[in-house]
Copies of this chain bind each other. A is one copy, B any other.
Amino acid sequence: MDNMKSTMIKSLYRQAQDYVNKDITISGWVKTLRDSKTFGFIEVNDGSFFKNLQIVFEEGNIPNFKEVTKMPVGSSIIVCGKLVETPNAKQPFELKASSIQIEGLSTPDYPLQKKRHTFEYLRTIAHLRPRTNTFSAVFRIRSLAAYAIHKFFQERGFVYVHTPIITGSDAEGAGQMFRVSTLDLNNLPRTEEGAVDFSQDFFGKETNLTVSGQLEGETYCMAFRNVYTFGPTFRAENSNTARHAAEFWMVEPEIAFSDLQDDMELAEDMLKFIINYCMENAPEEMAFFNSFVDNTLFERLNNIVNSKFAHVTYTEAVELLKKDKDKFEYPVEWGADLQTEHERYLTEQIFKKPVFVTDYPKDIKAFYMRMNDDNKTVAAMDLLVPGVGEIIGGSQREERLDYLEKRMDEMGLHKDDYWWYMDLRKYGGTKHAGFGLGFERAIMYITGMSNIRDVVSFPRTVNTAEF
């Protein structure tokens, strides 16, 4: 995209030989400006690339020299000039300006001055923070990782399904949800019994924001075999932590004629693909994270990309953890969910690489997971990675209608609400499996950023829905 015939700074860095000693036009925002009496330097970023371009300007060549030297940081400019190599300088080349047109002035109180700001402060100016190095890097990685996910699945023939955001059903039979409504709160319609009359709401019934597209995704899996969803999901949980947001994006593939083993292979391939894609397509940003955000990042990511992931059953994992039980705050007991400390110990201390924990007790997992022959565990898997713990959760789905109904009864679900889900087992059901990847957690993992609020453009958390 050559907006208004500007050359992108990315092109200069990637194909310098095409531009050196040629007259070009660039446009972008002033990051720094320093000048002496008769000449000056401007670092310009044009948004196309992590690095800036250095502009040199001289009083003799620029009619508006004085005006240019007075520009506040953040101003936008359009610069014509010749690109010249600078073999002895830090940067490989600079632009000798023949004209500098001021497109839009900033002000002296522009909040992003050269000094460092805390991430907390930058959240209050979330509309400006992508202009900083850190957030420019975060959100370019987020964009690339999103594309990597599409590329991974599309190149493998998966069909992308947009499952509904507004739902009349509660996909996991659990999870706090946001109500979606157009009812007038000052004049709520009531039934004869005095209850709120949702039949008068927009959809003629009570509706909520989805917590997962999985169940709807399964319907498309039974038609297209290999499908994935990638969209926003919601949890109305009152968890004010660095890892929870009320609105987040989730990737949920679903594969037919497939078992838990296929599911784990897919998850491993996908995660490696995303990381490789980011490393290859944003080396400058990744180097920045490794230098300034998390010094262990490259080591950690290389360990993922180059490892064959380990596998351990939940039952074996519990035995392993019990041997070191004095190391933990929470007890380790078969039947209880693993805590983050247990998960991290498994992946960081015992296996020292990503590990799939499989075959969890049925009572701590969802109704749709396939019962194992032991009748105690289900064909579930969680992928644990060093530094974080769980990053992916999945399972083989129960394809046997009688087993499924039994579990729904045991868990007190209303089977009438799931007629269409049960239909999938009546009409040519197959073995199938899938998993969910919380996209923000993946971005945190890939960038080393430690707060989910810093990998979402405008975060939605308890008491926060700004911008």
Contacts and interface: CB of A to CB of B under 8 A. Distances in A.
B224 A47 contact: yes
Nearest to A182: B236
Counted per complex, copies of this chain come to 2
A463 B159 CA distance: 29
Contact of A232 (B136, B205, B231, B428): B231
A298 interface: no
A19 interface: no
A259 interface: yes
What 10 pairs between A and B have smallest CB-CB spacing? A47-B225, A130-B223, A203-B465, A127-B219, A104-B429, A204-B463, A127-B420, A143-B160, A47-B224, A76-B428
A395 interface: no
Interface residues of A, number: 117
A216 interface: yes
Interface string A210-226: 00000010011011111
B1 A139 contact: no
A371 B363 CA distance: 63
A246 B202 CA distance: 9
Contact of A466 (B168, B185, B195, B202): B168
13 contacts: A4-B257, A6-B257, A8-B157, A103-B257, A103-B431, A130-B220, A131-B223, A143-B158, A143-B159, A167-B465, A179-B185, A180-B209, A202-B462
A181 interface: yes
Interface string A431-467: 1000000000000000000000000111010111111
A130 B427 CA distance: 13
Contacts of A188: 185
B203 A3 contact: no
Contacts of A127: 216, 219, 420-421, 423-424
A226 to B, nearest CB: 5
